[in-house]
A and B are shown apart, each in its own frame.
Chain A
């Protein structure tokens, strides 16, 4: 059974760094073809893809945020991470992690709400 769960700070202030963790089970990020992606959704709005990391440590970022994003993984502990630097109110959203099998997102976490506010 594949499950993913996101965790994060809940609330942070503008200019701070947002650190998110995706803890998963039912698959391994050391398996050929597997990956984890991060997607966010502001309240009442659509979905925005942020970044992917693959089993071979290959990484892809959304260019609109690339300089602010860092994705990484801890294969032994079944976790993936996303950092967003210099946050502002526009980064307020629900953040999801999702498994990538071969090349599409199949299982998603429940999401974690992040609010940026002074």
Chain B
């Protein structure tokens, strides 16, 4: 069965410091992986995705993520955090071999960037 885990409910980081939001997954085949961001009382916005190829993918607003197949992880990173990055972040996975059209979402990680 497909699953996604975001082990940290909240991550605090000082402005200007690098940030990492963790995501691990479990699928039977090669996964499609996504990161989304949600600001209060808003819908989710797409940040980046990994489908195939280079393990380091770059996305919107200076975010990037590294796909690690051996560790089944897809951690979101940014070299220098901004206060405006404070939001709720969701990792999602799609297993192309699952036979369904479902995307599985993690429980979310709240990022707080402190000035």
The answer on A and B forming one complex is: no
Q: Which residues of B contact A (CB under 8 A)?
A: none
Which A residues are within 8 Å of any B CB, using their own CB? Answer: none
